[in-house]
Chain A
Amino acid sequence: MSTLFFLFVASDRVDEEFRRFRHEALPLLVYGPPALLGVVLYQYFFVSNRLRSPLTTVTQDIAESSLLEHSSLVGLNIYYTTFMLLGHALGVGSSYLFAIGSIGSLAALCVNDYLLQRHQPIHEKGLNLVSYLVGQVLPIMLGVEGIIGFLVSYLSVDSKKSGSHY
């Protein structure tokens, strides 16, 4: 909402020189926050609110947070693996992107559960901060370029529609 407000205020100050391709990273600022807001709202109302107790002790709150962290990583793993198999069954070559996500999240889960949190009881396992890092390595190294290559086709069509030049 703050981004949209900023844009609303700034919209009267942009001129014709403030054109596409000169500030091509700005769409990230425009579309990123609303997208993140959608994700957070969904997670808050449809996942967190259904799992967390309204009144808890500190210990129970920590346990519920740990469960949410762990179940989110497991959910991510299930999501990537399911779409990898579905996409491949339908002949979609780009399913390799989901495979990369699946390997990344599986590596994070294994490092977290078998190495970093191995002494924790299974129902109290949260996520170690290092696990977040492990889960991002493969997607960043191998996946980002594939996503960009996929999106560039939209950029091409988009730029033709807008009639912009650089």
Chain B
Amino acid sequence: MALIQNSYNYHTRLDTFSAIQPGSVQHMGESTLSLLEYFTSNLTTLGNSPSPTPILPKTPVSALIFFSALGGKLFIVYTRRQATIIYTLLAGAVSLVLWDRVDWRNRKKAYLLSAVGVAGSVLSGVIGANLGAAFTSLVMGRAMSW
């Protein structure tokens, strides 16, 4: 039941009481109450409530894609079906631009090498960072000593 705002502060020195936003406690209380109502309803084996919370139709979370940005000021939600349409259109636009702007006939080798090179660079970056970590840990014996 972590609070959703500014999650990048979690477990850091910035994770202090002063960082808790007004309304967070209310939000947590409402979530707790909903959980209690559910656990005490007839919907569970723990149920002993005479008036269980009605089951409302909901879109399952697994069918949604959502993320926040700009410090939580922007919250974007769309369904997987919409994502399929958006991503397909985006891939189509990319294909169109690359077909138009790249000299595939004469420069194919350069563009293919560069495309593979991005994935290779990502892998090399991971290997480089891990070699650095291995050096500080195994050779210096100072893992996470900062």
Contacts and interface: CB of A to CB of B under 8 A. Distances in A.
A76 interface: yes
Contacts of B135: 4, 7
B65 A41 contact: no
Interface string B1-43: 0000001101111010000000000000000000000000000
Interface residues of B, number: 61
Contact of B13 (A24, A31, A148): A24
A127 interface: no
A81 B94 contact: yes
Contact of B125 (A14, A35, A113, A146): A35
A36 B101 CA distance: 29
A149 B114 contact: no
Interface string A48-87: 0011000000000000000110011011111101001100
Nearest to A102: B90
B101 A109 contact: yes
A30 interface: yes
B113 A47 contact: yes
Main secondary structure of the interface of B (DSSP, over half): helix
B117 interface: yes
A100 to B, nearest CB: 9
Contacts of A18: 145-146
Nearest to B68: A145
Contact of A81 (B90, B127, B128): B90
A79 B113 contact: no
Contacts of A113: 97, 101
Interface of B: 7-8, 10-13, 15, 64-65, 67-71, 74, 80, 83-84, 86-87, 90-91, 93-94, 97-98, 101-103, 106-107, 109-111, 113-121, 123-129, 131-133, 135-136, 139-140, 142, 144-146
Given A152-B11, A155-B11, 10 more contacts: A24-B146, A38-B121, A43-B117, A68-B114, A85-B87, A102-B90, A145-B71, A152-B7, A155-B12, A156-B11
The 9 closest A-B pairs by CB, nearest first: A38-B128, A34-B132, A75-B114, A38-B124, A71-B114, A42-B124, A75-B115, A79-B118, A26-B146
Interface of A: 3-4, 7-8, 11, 14, 18-24, 26-27, 30-39, 41-43, 46-47, 50-51, 67-68, 71-72, 74-79, 81, 84-85, 88, 91, 93, 95-96, 99, 102-103, 106, 109-110, 113, 122-123, 125, 141-142, 145-146, 148-149, 152, 155-156, 158-159, 162, 164, 166
